[in-house]
Amino acid sequence: MTTITEIAPDLFRLSIYVPDLNLQFNHFLVRDERPLLFHAGLKGMFADLHEAVQTLIDPKDLGYVAWSHFESDEIGGLNNWLENAPQAEPVCTFIGKVVSVDDFSLRPALGMTPDQHLSTGRFRFRFYATPHLPHGWDAGMMFEESRKTLFCSDLFHQFGDVSPLSSDDFTDATVEAMRQMQQSPLAGYMTYNSNTRSMLSVLAQLQPKTLATMHGSSYSGDGESMIKNLSAAMKAIFEPA
């Protein structure tokens, strides 16, 4: 079952909770002249997601399907969306396009570089390359400039069937999730290297007002402080003393 929440006008969070993993998988639909879906989602979730999107727009009208990095929960259902929406264009980082996507996708991707803009009509997006943040050479974060929404993928991961949107600082829950992952067979989930904190600093300077999170609550409020808190927490967890 997909839970749909309008977290800002015409910005919808489509959430599927998987109890076995105690984890939400969140997808975001920006309703505009050329609607944009951020996170194609797992192939196995496509039918449910398609049904949910259908309550908001005609899925055939999708203009763009975008994601952060090449991984099934981000891109697994991409070709299903492209088959159903003849005009839809895949959107990712330039590295994503040339390294993986154009060999996988039914149609070539728009591989965005940081100087490029993409307009869906009323909303205007840029794609910040963040190699290996949260993980994956091709990783990037999309930013919608007019309302300052950062589509931040696996950053700010929280476990549980949590509320769709929070204005409370949930850094503690994110720290707990990173520690839990680090002690599990899935250790290494978050990459931490000499570029991590400077990339987080660039994202903080965007002063996002909404953080659209793939796993867990989205955040509304002072995104700059949240990213700075995350950066400090990652240093504490991953940097050798």
Structure tokens at 33: 């002249």
Residue 162 in contact with Fe ion, rule: CB under 5 A? no
Question: Closest Cα partner for 212 from 31, 30, 1, 16?
Answer: 30
Distance CA 14, CA 172 (A): 24
Beta partners for 27? 14
Residue 214 in contact with Fe ion, rule: CB under 5 A? yes
Q: Which stretch binds Fe ion (CB under 5 A): 75-83, 100-108, 117-125, 209-217?
A: 209-217
Residue 224 in contact with Fe ion, rule: CB under 5 A? no
Q: Which stretch binds Fe ion (CB under 5 A): 88-96, 106-114, 149-157, 204-212?
A: 149-157
Number of residues that bind Fe ion (CB under 5 A): 4
Distance CA 82, CA 155 (A): 27
Residues 29-68 that bind Fe ion (CB under 5 A): none
Q: Which residue has the tokens 């919608």?
A: 144
Nearest distance, CB of residue 134 and Fe ion, angstroms? 6
Residue 73 in contact with Fe ion, rule: CB under 5 A? yes
Residue 10 in contact with Fe ion, rule: CB under 5 A? no
Among 71, 169, 176, 224, binds Fe ion (CB under 5 A): 71
Distance CA 39, CA 222 (A): 24
Residues 97-116 that bind Fe ion (CB under 5 A): none
Nearest distance, CB of residue 212 and Fe ion, angstroms? 12
Nearest distance, CB of residue 223 and Fe ion, angstroms? 19
Give the total residue count for the chain. 241
DSSP code of 219? Answer: E
Nearest distance, CB of residue 67 and Fe ion, angstroms? 9
Diameter of the chain measured on Cα atoms: 53
Nearest distance, CB of residue 75 and Fe ion, angstroms? 10
Q: What are the helix (H) ranges across the chain? A: 46-54, 72-75, 78-84, 94-96, 102-104, 171-182, 196-205, 223-238
- What is the β-pairing status of strands 149-153 and 165-166? unpaired
- What residues line the site for Fe ion (CB under 5 A)? 71, 73, 154, 214
